Structure 1
Amino acid sequence: MAPKRNRRAGVEDRWYKTIYDEQKQPQRVESSNHGKGKRWRARYVDDDGREHVRGFTRKTDAQQWLDEVTAAQVTGTYIDPAKGKVTFASFYREWSTRQVWVTGTAQAMNLAANSVIFSDVALADLRPSHIEKWVRSMVDADLQPSTIKTRFNNVRSVLRAAVRDRMLAHDPSQNVALPRVRRTEAAMVIPTPREVGALLRGSDDDFRAFVGLCAFAGLRLGEAAALQVRDIDFLRREIQVRRQVQKANGHAVEIRGPKYGSERIIPAPQGLLDLLSAHSAHWRVGTNPERWMFPGRGEHPWHQNSVGYRWRKTRESAGARDLRLHDLRHFYASGLIAAGCDVVTVQRALGHHSAAVTLTTYSHLWPDASDRTRKAADGLFAEATADALRTEDDKTPINQGV
């Protein structure tokens, strides 16, 4: 292996060279390159020991270029010119092979990366204008703002990886405006207790406990389907979420960790535990701790297709055609909030990866300052007027009979 060159930099005159006469005095004479090509040559050696050379007509231009390179090396923004020629598409192909994505994430990343209009643009040439044109093309294609935001964030993760790998000096997607994602309270459907009761009554015997898990423990579809016997502690009245079921490529069933790594223990109401106990006894789930609570065909539990069929049947029976299974999770969250649970408690129960997600989704359900002010004023009014509205003799309201 060849020795690594020392880092050095400088500007040299190609047209003249210095020699020493017999008295060892320096003499400036024309070189063999005199009058040929550009006079000034700037060169530097990078961190990997590779030498880079560029010619200039004027010495000031050569020195300015070299100063910029040196400053970039000092500040950590230096990019090897050869690396900067790598295109977005080629970088993504190489980078994606090193990622530990689950199937769904890989599909989403590939979809986003393949949708850009700058695949063949060299990373060093990427500008915010490229990103803006891509965003505009998605808007023109009538994609939903939420879809555009998801694809943008996925592509941005690629660009940030390029910055970390010193393929890009800066993230060109920074400060690029996106179409506004409008969140309306009307978009969230929260079933009433009467509707949830109708769903439980309309469920087939093998599906009733599943509906209960979504409505009274807030489990996602994949989390409820992946429950095993060992995940339910009837003595401690707890349900442990350890895994989820996902379908890969539309048919293969995968068992993996919960969304956002949201393993958690949920305090379970006694009514839900009774449902689960009856389900276990009726369907002979058994005592094997690794047995699925909702066994499907073969060795796999239920999945999106098998649950979807049962949910549509239940919804039809209950006369609730517009409800989604995920709306039961909103029902659970709204119940916790109405009971006075704080943000962190709700976040942990639902398995959100941050309290910010909980607030973004359910902030409109928490009492705001106006609600608290109104409630406090009601209390003050009741206390202050308790005696004022009664006579001294019989303590009956003064205005009674008026």
Structure 2
Amino acid sequence: MASVKQRADGSWRARYRDAADTEHARHFATRRAAQAWLDEVTSSMVTGRWVDPIASSITLQQYYDDWSTRQIWASGTVTAMNLAMRTCTFGELELNRLSRSHIEGWIKAMSVQGLAPGTIKTRVNNVRGVIRAAVRDRRLPEDPSAGVKLPRVRKIDSAMRIPTPAEVAALLDAAPSWFAPYIALCAFAGLRLGEASALQSGDIDFLRRKIHVRRQVQRVAAREVSITAPKYGSERAIDAPDELLAMLTEHLRTTTPLGAARWLFDGQYGEPPHQNTVGYWWRLAKRDANVEGIRLHDLRHFYASGLIASGLDVVTVQRSLGHARATTTLNTYSHLWPTAEERTRSAASELMRSVLASSPATATGL
């Protein structure tokens, strides 16, 4: 039920009741303005875009503080979401005042600060997740962040730095004997930093020649680490080369105490190493090897490129890397697979060589 009536003071009172039979009212100087507001409310109800004005009067930060307590997140996700909200410039703005211009202004400010396009994209997507949750909760009629333009991210094939075999060899030679196996696990098994750090002696199955990825290390504070399950879809058993297993055998013999539950690599206070510690070891190894411009994660790219160059299919590479979906593997490494033209040319070349090899004229040199 809705109505527009004039009050004793000459103003016009527009009112309506929502589906919960709660009355909402506003006062206007003219009947036309009151009716226009009422028509807009009626239209939003009919189209399903209506939201309770009281529910949408809280700030984005207040909504996040309540909504985030109900989410099932890994500790890394909690840290990333909190960081995005903390740097968001409109967190204290009421939801019903949030507009596209606020998101665009935040993106521009981060670009001026010199943040990498990938970092900006991650933060915007995290905050966008909060805004979309508010839409689903009927706190907002629509997502004001939809369609906003983000800084251009470099193509993966242009940004990716794949170490050469000579560079990997130099790193292995220069690294201390206790750190070389860590580098080898990243380069020849494709482990992420957190996965390599979380390996225990019992994760190496020498009989079946497999390395089991069952957990990862995440840094919680300067001196604290958290042991969590691997990234979604990343728990896996990797087929390990004999040379890597031999290196790990020697590492276990000389540096790691007995016991299947002991960490393969030691950090501080009896815990496995976290990213800061491994980063320090990695920088020293690069310095001693005189190798620059390579991240530890690039060794994972080195491993993937080797699998692809050997002709392995997408699904096999996906499982070896622990990607949740094959599309992730393709999006990251599609430029490394031979194109259709290259495969066609190679197949035709092989076909021609087989024919020429059996030709009497070719065989006699005529």
Structure 1 length normalisation: TM-score? Answer: 0.81
Match of 2:186 in 1: 214
Contact 2:14/2:26, CA 8 A, preserved across alignment: yes
Q: What is the alpha-carbon distance in structure 1 between the residues aligned to residue 69 and residue 84 of structure 2?
A: 16
- Show CA shifts across 1:41-86 (max 9, x none): 4421333x422234672696576345325314xx3x3210111222
Which of residues 42, 46, 50 in structure 2 aligns to 1:67?
42
Question: Structure 1 residues 307, 179: closer, same or farther in 2, change over 3 A?
Answer: closer
Larger Rg: 1
Contact 2:214/2:236, CA 8 A, preserved across alignment: yes
Compute the RMSD of aligned alpha carbons: 2.7
Q: What is the alpha-carbon distance in structure 2 between the residues aligned to residue 116 and residue 141 of structure 1?
A: 13
Question: Structure 1 residues 298, 147: closer, same or farther in 2, change over 3 A?
Answer: closer
Match of 2:114 in 1: 142
- Show CA shifts across 1:297-352 (max 9, x none): 33312222332333333333433244332222111111111111122221221122
Question: Structure 1 residues 173, 359: closer, same or farther in 2, change over 3 A?
Answer: same
In structure 1, what residue type is equivalent to 2:45?
T
In structure 1, what residue type is equivalent to 2:280?
Y
Match of 1:167 in 2: 139
Match of 2:285 in 1: 314
- Show CA shifts across 1:126-148 (max 9, x none): 22222222222222333221121
What is the CA distance between 1:239 and its match in structure 2?
1.2
1:9-158 equivalent positions in 2, closer than 5 A: 9-11=1-3, 14=5, 37=10, 41-47=14-20, 49-54=21-26, 57=31, 61=36, 64-65=39-40, 67-72=42-47, 75=48, 77-158=49-130
Match of 1:370 in 2: 341
Match of 1:396 in 2: 364
Q: What is the alpha-carbon distance in structure 1 between the residues aligned to residue 219 and residue 100 of structure 2?
A: 37
Contact 2:58/2:94, CA 8 A, preserved across alignment: yes
Alignment gaps of 5+ in structure 1: 1-8, 16-32
What is the CA distance between 1:220 and its match in structure 2?
1.1
Alignment gaps of 5+ in structure 2: none
Contact 2:58/2:95, CA 8 A, preserved across alignment: yes
Contact 2:59/2:95, CA 8 A, preserved across alignment: yes
1:195-214 equivalent positions in 2, closer than 5 A: 195-214=167-186
2:251 paired with 1:290: no
Question: Structure 1 residues 180, 342: closer, same or farther in 2, change over 3 A?
Answer: same
Contact 1:311/1:325, CA 8 A, preserved across alignment: yes
Q: What is the alpha-carbon distance in structure 1 between the residues aligned to residue 51 and residue 161 of structure 2?
A: 51
Q: Which has the higher helix share?
A: 2
1:170-249 equivalent positions in 2, closer than 5 A: 170-183=142-155, 185-249=157-221
SS of aligned partner of 1:240: strand
Match of 1:341 in 2: 312
Q: Percent identity?
A: 49
Question: Structure 1 residues 62, 387: closer, same or farther in 2, change over 3 A?
Answer: closer
In structure 1, what residue type is equivalent to 2:42?
D
Higher alpha-carbon deviation: 235-244 or 36-45: 36-45
Q: What is the alpha-carbon distance in structure 1 between the residues aligned to residue 37 and residue 279 of structure 2?
A: 68
Match of 1:359 in 2: 330
Higher alpha-carbon deviation: 181-190 or 37-46: 37-46
- Show CA shifts across 1:259-302 (max 9, x none): 3452111111122112212211222431x221111233333122
Question: Structure 1 residues 365, 389: closer, same or farther in 2, change over 3 A?
Answer: farther
In structure 1, what residue type is equivalent to 2:117?
P
Q: What is the alpha-carbon distance in structure 1 between the residues aligned to residue 239 and residue 79 of structure 2?
A: 35
Q: What is the alpha-carbon distance in structure 2 between the residues aligned to residue 351 and residue 301 of structure 1?
A: 21
Contact 1:87/1:121, CA 8 A, preserved across alignment: yes
Q: What is the alpha-carbon distance in structure 2 between the residues aligned to residue 67 and residue 208 of structure 1?
A: 69
Match of 1:280 in 2: 252
Question: Structure 1 residues 89, 213: closer, same or farther in 2, change over 3 A?
Answer: same
Higher-RCO chain (CA-CA 8 Å, sequence separation at least 6): 2
Q: What is the alpha-carbon distance in structure 2 between the residues aligned to residue 284 and residue 388 of structure 1?
A: 62
Contact 1:219/1:350, CA 8 A, preserved across alignment: yes
